[in-house]
Amino acid sequence: MESNIIYEALATIVQRIKYAPENQPLDQMIDLQEVASKFRLSLPETLVVAFLATEDSDNNGLTRERLVGYLKPVTGFNTQRIFNMIRKLGKLNILERERFSDTVDLMLNEDYLDAIETGNWEKVEALSPYGLYPLMKYLKRQLGNSMGFLEHMGMPMSHNLAAEDLFKTNILRINEHLVCVKYAHKNFGHLTEPAIHVHLFFSILTQKVMEDQPLDIEEWMSGIGIARFEISEFMSKYIKSQNWAPMKQGLVEIVGHGLVNHSI
């Protein structure tokens, strides 16, 4: 097999992790951070790619439990946090579940694996949702179809998408130059619990950009697992009173019963 600089980089990551001094923080491995930046992923996310690319020699996938076993000691993440990371990588079309396995076996997505096999960094970078439209497509998948994906990936259905902080995800970090991301940071970043505000803002935006349709807020909030009393409280406090930042600034308006539209 011809030399492949991407595979070599991933193999180097796996070896470094396996033989790293005990308790050495990942953020001190500067050279590995540089590789992660080429993938436009965080270092823990890049570890998932590295283990799937180098340890899955027969291309039949690694069990989720085996992957958790690799990642727990070096990341310090608990099992649920690793599951969340796996789900996010699935949403990015980087990994997928083996459909015909009795266990939850994970493997790299075929397009992503093909890009790695070219040995061309530009082809790998091109698969990351960088820029407005790729970001909208990614968020549409993540925010609009969360429960079906969780079930397919074998994740607990009790997971509440609204509890995730998008500000802490790599997807917004690599798109921090976009006006919509800057707006979200400026208007929601100071809030004690910004997650639902950020999710709603981007859901309205993606619905407008991708479908040119308004968003039914109550239906959307119910779909991502928010309790009925919390929906009612949020609607009264922010939407019906038009006290939500995008509404006060004239960016979002009510266009029908429970429907809002984004004018950007």
Specify the range with the lowest mean pLDDT, choosing from 12-21, 44-53, 186-195, 225-234.
12-21
Q: Which pLDDT score, from 0 to 100, does residue 165 have?
A: 64
Q: Which pLDDT score, from 0 to 100, does residue 227 have?
A: 87
How much is the average pLDDT of 47-71?
82
Given a cut of 50, whether residue 148 has pLDDT beyond it is: no
Q: Which pLDDT score, from 0 to 100, does residue 33 have?
A: 82
For 211-222, how does the pLDDT look when each residue is reduced to its tens digit (9 = 90+)? 888 888 888 888
Q: Which pLDDT score, from 0 to 100, does residue 185 have?
A: 92
How much is the average pLDDT of 91-102?
73
Domain locations along the chain: 1-128, 130-264
Q: 91 falls in which pLDDT band (50, 70, 90)? A: confident
Given a cut of 60, whether residue 79 has pLDDT beyond it is: yes
Tally the C-alpha atoms within 13 A of residue 171's C-alpha that lie toward its C-beta. Answer: 26
Specify the range with the lowest mean pLDDT, choosing from 8-17, 100-109, 184-193, 247-256.
100-109
Q: Which pLDDT score, from 0 to 100, does residue 160 have?
A: 46
Q: In terms of Cα–Cα distance, which of 108, 73, 118, 94 is closest to 171?
A: 94
- Third-level CATH fold of 1-128: Arc Repressor Mutant, subunit A (1.10.10)
DSSP H or E stretch at residue 18: helix 5-18
Q: In terms of Cα–Cα distance, which of 257, 206, 261, 211 is closest to 235?
A: 257
Given a cut of 70, whether residue 256 has pLDDT beyond it is: no
d(CA 53, CA 115): 12
Given a cut of 90, whether residue 102 has pLDDT beyond it is: no
d(CA 197, CA 167): 11
Mean pLDDT of all residues in the chain?
79
The single-letter DSSP state of residue 21 is P
The verdict on pTM exceeding 0.85 is no
d(CA 202, CA 138): 11
d(CA 13, CA 46): 9
Given a cut of 90, whether residue 110 has pLDDT beyond it is: no
Specify the range with the lowest mean pLDDT, choosing from 53-62, 65-74, 157-166.
157-166
Given a cut of 80, whether residue 85 has pLDDT beyond it is: yes
Q: 74 falls in which pLDDT band (50, 70, 90)? A: confident
More confident residue, 161 or 185: 185
